[in-house]
Structure 1
């Protein structure tokens, strides 16, 4: 499954970069996140509880950030599994300065297997877009509350 989009932020690129790399902000923005722990190697252990259509369950996984060019871009790689199936993804994240703040362009390629894949690619694509929107909206809400703003 391939997805891409862009998100406009009315905050400086540095603030968006910090928010996208802060475990506390991420924990509150990732849909269904029950735990997010930063490891010494820079990766994150994550546990989630999600429901996709009639398929619900808990997932445990790892998230890595590579190809980091602060504050311009990074590659996010994640893999997770649980009773409903497994997910593996790579997402290119590019942050650009704008007059209004920052523009984040992202491209994601995900492989989904198990019961969750039985939901169908059309439904999964819609659910993934909804979850991505919710994630970025929650990042914006936390920034509005004062995280990293001057």
Structure 2
């Protein structure tokens, strides 16, 4: 599965960068995220659940960052495991471009693979769900970052 996306975040690039590296901000933005635990500056664990039709898998994902070029880009790799979900692996290249003093363009290219019960049952449903999760995440991320910059 491959995905790309372009999203306008209504905050300055430095603030977006800091938020993209803050597990607690990401927890607020990731739909149905139950936990986000930082292990180091480049690793954290996220636990979340999602809906795939009548199936509601729960994943525990180890997320690591590499090729860091602050505040411009990084590569995010994730490996998630869950009883029902099986194994999910993915990698995304994330790039931030300053549009003006208050707006950032976030672009990503991602690829992923799932193995297990869900992958066998409905690969098209997985792809549609992944795109919806990405759209929901960036919509919520924009809101969370905007709310936090007011503090």
Distance 1:40 1:5, change over 3 A: closer
Query: Can you give the 5+ residue segments of structure 1 that lack an aligned partner in the other structure?
Result: none
CA distance in 1, matches of 2:141, 2:41: 24
Secondary structure of the residue that 1:52 maps to in structure 2?
A: coil
Residues 76-98 of structure 1: per-residue CA shift (max 9 Å, x gap) = 00001111211000000011111
Aligned residues between the structures: 149
Task: Indicate the RMSD between aligned Cα atoms, in angstroms.
Answer: 1.6
Which residue of structure 2 lines up, in the alignment, with residue 20 of structure 1? Answer: 20
Query: Can you give the 5+ residue segments of structure 2 that lack an aligned partner in the other structure?
Result: none
- Runs of 4+ more than 6 Å apart: none
With 80-89 and 44-53 compared, the bigger mean Cα shift is at 44-53
Residues 13-41 of structure 1: per-residue CA shift (max 9 Å, x gap) = 11110111111111111122111100036
Q: Calculate the TM-score normalised by the size of structure 1.
A: 0.91
Q: Calculate the TM-score normalised by the size of structure 2.
A: 0.91
CA distance in 2, matches of 1:115, 1:36: 25
